[in-house]
A = this chain, B = another copy of it.
Amino acid sequence: MIRFNNDYSAGAHPAVMEKLLKINSGRYPGYGEDPLSYEAADLIRKACAAPDADVHFLTGGTQANALMVTTALRPWQSAVCADSGHINAHEAGSVEHGGHRITALPSKDGKITAAQVEETALGFENNLFRDHVTEPKMVYISSPNELGCLYSRLELSDLSRVCREHGLYLFLDGARLAYGLGASDCDFTLADIAALTDVFYIGGTKCGTLFGEALVITNDELKYGFRNAMKQFGAMLAKGWLIGTQFGALFEGGVYEELGREADRKADRIRAEFAALGITPCAPGNTNQIFYYLDSRLADALSDRFVLEIMEKTADGKVMARICTSWYTSDEDVDALIAAVRNYS
């Protein structure tokens, strides 16, 4: 079976695994206070052109999101995101478990606009009953997002400006950031993200590591006490160097950017072929995730050799499916999928 269902079906990128093996016989101080973690943090600060940023290594995305939101907000403050946002739709209420309400904004492509955020902020500021509602204080976006779409530099910059005007933190979930940076139409850099947000994370789990996300905090207000918060949350890995090592491997020789670019190129091939066959995606992204409403017979036919992620079955006999490439997708995998779809048509 060839897996196109997600981008976390395989272990580590060879470069990552090699480095893990190499350092396995070493001995290191615990809890992320080790040379390997420091080195990786430096590489990341450099890649982000953010010399004063705090970099923390966490084990997974839901953990990073929940910990960051809970740590940043006071009890009566809430997070704002797209209705399809990962914290709203796929994390089992982790933000609410941390005590905070989410204001979910409607979105067709998983993105929210500066205008929506401004309206939300003004809605609170002008609310006649503002003591009776939560104060929006953090905007959560993901890029690429849950529908494979990417913010443009201008959109990020507008969001950033509105957030700063109204005193909201901008938090970018970069679980799939490599596949964003590698997209043919990506017009922002890591340094742009670092400059425009208050905190973001560079995803590892879906982009080459066994596990691990690198949280980058640029806003000083969010830095204090974070290691205590990590420990309290159960998010401080005893052998912290393991995550540092993996990010070191990804950022030393440009591996991170390359693996993203390659996966996107493969997704582009699939997009082009499906388009040629008249199958159009649900959302206009150019990253590694593509969502299609497929005829259920086609989905069935493909299921012999391919694993797609079936998101839902519609009333009119279609299935909404995700096709996902990743650093471990080969051109042969893509060839096989294309051949199978052509064959069916």
Contacts and interface: CB of A to CB of B under 8 A. Distances in A.
A117 B232 CA distance: 23
A103 to B, nearest CB: 10
Interface string A220-249: 000001011111111111110010000000
Contacts of A63: 234-235
B26 A11 contact: yes
Interface string A70-103: 1100111110000000000111111011111110
Given A20-B11, A90-B132, A97 B242 contact: no
Contact of A93 (B60, B61, B97, B134): B134
A101 B90 contact: no
A29 interface: yes
Contacts of A29: 9
Contacts of A238: 8, 60-61, 205-206, 211
Oligomer: number of copies: 4
A71 B30 CA distance: 28
A242 B328 CA distance: 17
A228 B76 contact: yes
A334 to B, nearest CB: 15
Nearest to A133: B92
A11 B239 contact: yes
A185 B165 CA distance: 51
B237 A59 contact: yes
B92 A132 contact: yes
Contacts of A12: 24
Nearest to A243: B211
Interface centre among A10, A75, A133, A227 (most CB of B within 10 A): A75
Interface centre among A10, A29, A89, A228 (most CB of B within 10 A): A228
Interface string A177-212: 000000000000000000000000000011000110
A128 interface: yes
Interface of A: 1, 3, 6, 8-12, 17, 20-21, 23-31, 59-67, 70-71, 74-78, 89-94, 96-102, 128-135, 205-206, 210-211, 225, 227-239, 242, 310, 328
10 contacts: A8-B238, A9-B29, A10-B25, A11-B23, A27-B328, A90-B133, A92-B131, A96-B101, A206-B238, A233-B234
